[in-house]
Structure 1
């Protein structure tokens, strides 16, 4: 049971997900639960994409009417939020004692893998800060990764937000890339370099040509998109470390 601070009430479906509100006891189908409804919606999204999820299709999936669903979720937006919560709930992450840097990187990888396993969840609209149970539990673990550091509580929250934003953006990039990327990415990027050279001249784009001449766009042996994620992740860690040094000075 959460601490009652007065006001700030959540939608009834979110309170049911938290376990602080009883599920409806009356309805056309006995035994129907919020968990069954959300799981059915996730199955539809996994099979046919998020656009396939509608109240009527979910109702058909669980064997009831669309109107009956509204006893559990007041709107489709609520249902989508709970679906995203279920996706992040698949992440079995617990902050360990490997040091803040190692643990925060593990946290980011766990979120990236959750998006990879549920690419439809990247299309779930974000209407505000996280309030659903699994997302808050995941945030809790991210904050715990920085326990014992000189960061302030606001620093820790901002670090989690920055890291999660980077991870989500990277997951969206990976989801939108041509499926061929990653299978023969070296050949594709060589074509990309040649295309750039054909339209951009050295005089007007000297900095770009410094990159092209070094073949920086072309991955080396064994390089892939994950290597760029690692690079960005490490640079964020460097920034957090610099802030810690500042706070501890």
Structure 2
């Protein structure tokens, strides 16, 4: 019998494994028999799960219910209950089905690092295809065949490289936790614009008062220098930043592997991921491009040594230009 929560949940987080454990596992592993009573089935478990995933992809987990899935398929809710006992078991099936989209990394050329990179990139893509996946906490895993196969493949990637079993587990979970956290921020950024109708540019423009009246470069000199160099021009939750962080996580695991073996079994240069870094001396502003002026105020711009040229000398000027472009005629 499933244990019911004693208190009402206050968060929007969903928990896998909240239904009947035996029924859920039977459905996941194909042990539970097809309904034998009633009229000839016009549905399949796979159809129900796919419809539920499509619904969650389009409207989020808050829209998921047995009634909504049944309506999407053109059946009554009672028809679904002949296949799935409740929404809790359905969610477990959705998670394992989505996990089945992940390729096993055993066939990825290269050593453990290339395999973990491939696994991380596949996770990143999965979270963008199915944002709802990130709203289900992984602390109680779904022990379905597809998810277990993916997990086994990732653990095999770090087997035999000098780590203990506990360290192997920690390394795989370290990469997974980083990708999940970065993916959540990137997905939340996209959903914030969709759900509020306010773009990032509009949101920052509405806060021009802060940069014009409240921000004090003398009090925050590091941030002021970074603003001048254009470091804040790009959003921090981009794929480029994600790839940079992933490299650093893998570098840390590689350092541990090297310390155990006295050497590295594969060079960092073999990594397939780009390393987005600015060519500038830490603590010093980038070289100025003489003759480059702000499109808004005409002031001189300190252009970064690499990357996209800046059109404005500050975020305040960028916001004033945006307001001017969007002002009613």
Please tell me the TM-score bracket, short chain as reference. 0.7 to 0.9
Could you tell me which residue of structure 2 aligns to residue 239 of structure 1?
A: 252
TM-score by length of 1: 0.78
Deviation at 1:107, TM superposition (A): 0.6
Q: Which moved more, 1:103-112 or 1:164-173?
A: 164-173
Answer yes or no: is 1:213 the counterpart of 2:228.
yes
Task: State how far apart, in whole Å, the 1-side matches of 2:162 and 2:205 are.
Answer: 45
1:116 and 2:116 equivalent?
Answer: no
What does the per-residue CA deviation read over 1:48-96, in whole Å, with 9 as the maximum and x for residues that have no partner? 3332221112223345432443343333122123212222212234322
Higher helix share: 1
Match in the other structure for 1:83: 94
CA contact (8 A) 1:190 1:218 kept: no
Tell me: CA distance 1:248–1:31, structure 2 relative to 1, closer, same or farther (3 Å): farther
Q: Could you tell me how far apart the structure 1 residues matched to 2:113 and 2:35 are? A: 45
Name the SS for the 2:163 alignment partner: coil
Q: Which runs of 5+ in 2 are unaligned?
A: 1-19, 194-198, 263-329
Note the 1:214-229 alignment, pairs <5 A.
Answer: 214-219=229-234, 225-229=238-242
User: 2:207, 2:161 → 1: CA distance?
Assistant: 44
1:24, 1:47 → 2: CA distance? 29
Decide which of 165, 172, 176 is 1:153's aligned counterpart: 165
5+ residue gaps, structure 1, are 1-8
Q: Normalising by the residue count of structure 2, what TM-score does the alignment of the two structures yield?
A: 0.61
RMSD (Å) for aligned C-alpha atoms: 3.4
For residues 191-235 of structure 1, give each alpha carbon's deviation from its aligned partner in whole angstroms, at most 9, with x where no partner exists.
989955753323332332343233222249xx9911101110001
**Structure 2 residue 37 is matched with structure 1 residue 26:** yes
| 1:201 corresponding residue in structure 2 | 216
Rg larger in 1 or in 2?
A: 2
Change (3 A) 1:163 1:224: closer
